[in-house]
Copies of this chain bind each other. A is one copy, B any other.
C-alpha cells in the first residue's frame, strides 16, 4: 500500500520530486504553493483531429490561452517542459470529458491514453500572482486561503473551427495606488495571462454581481481598492466543453501540471544543459 503524503510534506520539494509523488499515487491534492519558482500549467488533451484548430484558437486568444507546450501526437512526454514529464500520470487529478460532458475524475489516465491524443499546456495565474506578491502587491484570496473568484464575461473570443465563446476572468482587489504597478508586473508574463483585461466597473464586461462569482470564492473589496480582472485559464476549459469533443481531458481545478521551467524564464522551452 502506498504512503500518502500531504501538501506540507511536499512544500520544500523540487518539481521533479512533487511529480514523482503524484506519479506514484501518493499525492492527489492541489498544487498551489508547490515547487516554488516553477511554471505550473493548465492542461488540455484532445484528439489530433481537433488540435490544429485548438492551437489556432489559443493563438488568437493569447491572454486566456497562452500556449506553453504542445506534445507530439500520441506522445505522453513533454520534454520542452521537463525531461521526465509523463502526462498520463504526473497531474494529481484529471477530468475526463466525453461528448462535452464530465465523465470521470481520475488520478491517472494511462488506461485511456491513445495514439492520437495531443497535450496542450497553457500558462496559469500562479506565475503572475507570485510576481505580484514578490513586488509587495497583496493578493486577497491567497491572504484568506480562498480560491480566486472567477466570472463569465461578455467579452467575445476570436473563434477557430468549433472553438469559441466568451472569456472567463479572475478578479483580484488591488489598492488603487498599486493598479498601475500590478498592470506593469503582470504584463511581463505573457505566458501567464499578461496584463489585466479590465479594471473597475464589473458591468462593463458583463459581470452582474461581484459577490457571486461563477466559480471560486467571493472575496472582500476594501475601501480604496478596485477590482482588477485578468483573463482566466477556465476560458479554454469552457470552450473545450462547449466544443463537445468525443474525448477531452483537462486537469481538475487547482491540480496543475508542475514543470521544470522557471517562472521567470524568457521562454517556456526548457534549455538543454
Cβ of A254 under 8 Å from chain B: no
What CA separation (Å) do A69 and B62 show in the bound complex? 11
| Residues B52 and A187 in contact, CB atoms below 8 Å apart | no
In the complex, residue of chain B having the shortest beta-carbon distance to the beta carbon of A270: B158
What CA separation (Å) do A60 and B187 show in the bound complex? 22
What CA separation (Å) do A55 and B55 show in the bound complex? 8
A266 with B48: in contact, given A59-B69, A72-B56, A80-B158 (CB under 8 Å)? no
What CA separation (Å) do A87 and B178 show in the bound complex? 43
Cβ contacts under 8 Å, A194 to chain B: 266-267
| Residues B72 and A190 in contact, CB atoms below 8 Å apart | no
Most chain B CB within a 10 A radius of its CB, from A63, A72, A195: A72
A interface, how many residues as a size bin?
20 to 34
Cβ contacts under 8 Å, A268 to chain B: 62
Which positions 152-186 of chain A face chain B at CB distance < 8 Å? Answer: 158, 160-161
Cβ contacts under 8 Å, A52 to chain B: 48, 51-52, 55, 73
What CA separation (Å) do A80 and B190 show in the bound complex? 18
Measured CB to CB, the closest approach of chain B to A47, in angstroms, equals 12
| Residues B72 and A269 in contact, CB atoms below 8 Å apart | no
Measured CB to CB, the closest approach of chain B to A26, in angstroms, equals 32
Cβ of A67 under 8 Å from chain B: yes
Pick the contact of A269: B61, B73, B187 (CB < 8 A): B61
| Residues A269 and B70 in contact, CB atoms below 8 Å apart | no
In the complex, residue of chain B having the shortest beta-carbon distance to the beta carbon of A190: B190
Cβ contacts under 8 Å, A48 to chain B: 52
Cβ contacts under 8 Å, A190 to chain B: 190, 266-267
Cβ contacts under 8 Å, A59 to chain B: 55, 67, 69-70
Cβ contacts under 8 Å, A60 to chain B: 70, 80, 269
Q: 1/0 contact trace for A240-273 toward B, CB 8 Å? A: 0000000000000000000000000011110000
Measured CB to CB, the closest approach of chain B to A40, in angstroms, equals 18
Measured CB to CB, the closest approach of chain B to A58, in angstroms, equals 10
Which positions 67-85 of chain A face chain B at CB distance < 8 Å? Answer: 67, 69-70, 72-73, 80
